[in-house]
Structure 1
Amino acid sequence: MRALTTAVSITAILFAGAIFGFFYAWVCSTMWGLDQADPRVAIQAMQAMNASVRNAVFFPAFFLTPVVMGLSAFLILRSGQKTSAAFFGAGALVYLALGLLLTAAINVPMNEALALVVVPKELDAAQEIWTDYSSRWQFWNQTRTIASGIALALAGYGLARLNPNRA
């Protein structure tokens, strides 16, 4: 049981770190770069990136992070380590609510609406579309970045508190 608990807990940390890194990269490079580009290019690039992100490589970190964190919490709780389990469980809930569900409720609908936009030839019209989209999208992306960072930190602390002789 100890080997399973350790493997699942480490997987939870890896998934949480991967999704935090994914969101963080959008914060500190991708969106800033798109904001500096011609807005017509930015819209087209964002449409292409949003279409390509739904893939098998992205799936585990995005969708399975709360599952693996929750499973870690369950396995750790079964070994009698309530504090460590609580940190993994809290991480799962934070990411589920403010990472996955927030994305589904806000970022995905914004991305789907942008996908329907025909990129205007006029620079001013494209700038208006991009500025409106980018500012709102970045606010919510920063929210899910912070949340996924908190989830990662909670799981990391839960792992640090784990007594390997009892897992």
Structure 2
Amino acid sequence: MLERSLEVLIFIAAVGCGLVAGVFFAFSSFVMPALGRIPAPSGISAMQSISVVVINPSFMTAFMGTGALCLVLLAGAWMWWGDLSGKLLLAGCLIYLVACIGVTMVFNVPLNDTLATMQADTAEAASFWSRYLTEWTAWNHVRTVAPALSLALFVLALIRRAAV
């Protein structure tokens, strides 16, 4: 029973990782480049709006809910520690928690918070916007790869368990 519950939770975490990776991939591949192509005040205003609207139940459930599942799954990694699947599970959880949630909180959110304090049509905002686009997007690339890698590790852990 516990084994099956753990497998279901890993599957749900893998789906959550896929959703989060997809959102971040969209930002890295076309949202941020598009915002960078329009006049700075328009890009700044759009990003300020995105930063407010992203705090919604659907995204936060996928993003933070997957993080909460990873915390629970750390115990599952301990349960399976004698098998490679436990180590894969641990790696997937830690990568998501550190390189997805941690990077968001330490790098992307502070940049968003600074941008939120600015008037979009000022020289100060335009100067910051140039730096923001580069730094925010670079950290977003990390946030894109992390949940995709966690997804792959979770799937590998499930495949490995099925083979045991």
Normalised by the shorter chain, which TM-score bucket?
A: 0.7 to 0.9
How far, CA to CA, are the matches of 2:74 and 2:121 in structure 1?
50
- What residue is the counterpart of 2:99 in the other structure? 98
What count of residue pairs does the alignment treat as equivalent?
Answer: 163
Q: Quick one: which amino acid aligns to residue 71 of structure 1?
A: V
- What residue is the counterpart of 1:54 in the other structure? 55
How far, CA to CA, are the matches of 1:66 and 1:83 in structure 2?
22
| 3-state DSSP of counterpart to 1:162 | helix
Structure 1 residues without counterparts, runs of 5 or longer: none
The offset of 1:5, in angstroms, is 2.5
Q: Contact 1:88–1:158 (CA<8 Å) still a contact in 2?
A: yes
TM-score (norm 2): 0.88
1:47-90 Cα shifts (integer Å, max 9, x gaps): 00001111111122211223323434534653676211221111
- What residue is the counterpart of 1:129 in the other structure? 128
The offset of 1:140, in angstroms, is 0.7
Indicate yes or no: 2:9 matched with 1:11.
no
| 3-state DSSP of counterpart to 2:89 | helix
Greater helix content: 2
How far, CA to CA, are the matches of 2:61 and 2:84 in structure 1?
26
Indicate yes or no: 2:88 matched with 1:87.
yes
- What residue is the counterpart of 1:21 in the other structure? 22
How far, CA to CA, are the matches of 1:110 and 1:126 in structure 2?
12
Q: Quick one: which amino acid aligns to residue 157 of structure 1?
A: L
- What residue is the counterpart of 2:162 in the other structure? 163
| 3-state DSSP of counterpart to 1:163 | helix
How far, CA to CA, are the matches of 2:50 and 2:91 in structure 1?
31
1:91-110 Cα shifts (integer Å, max 9, x gaps): 11011111101111111011
Distance 1:76 1:106, change over 3 A: closer
- Sequence identity percentage: 28
Indicate yes or no: 2:36 matched with 1:35.
yes
How far, CA to CA, are the matches of 2:77 and 2:117 in structure 1?
46
Q: Contact 2:77–2:90 (CA<8 Å) still a contact in 1?
A: no
How far, CA to CA, are the matches of 1:66 and 1:153 in structure 2?
16
- What residue is the counterpart of 1:117 in the other structure? 118
Structure 2 residues without counterparts, runs of 5 or longer: none
Q: Contact 2:118–2:125 (CA<8 Å) still a contact in 1?
A: no
Runs ≥4 residues deviating over 6 A: none
Q: Contact 2:120–2:126 (CA<8 Å) still a contact in 1?
A: no
| 3-state DSSP of counterpart to 2:49 | helix
The offset of 1:42, in angstroms, is 0.3
Which of 56-65 and 10-19 deviates more? 56-65
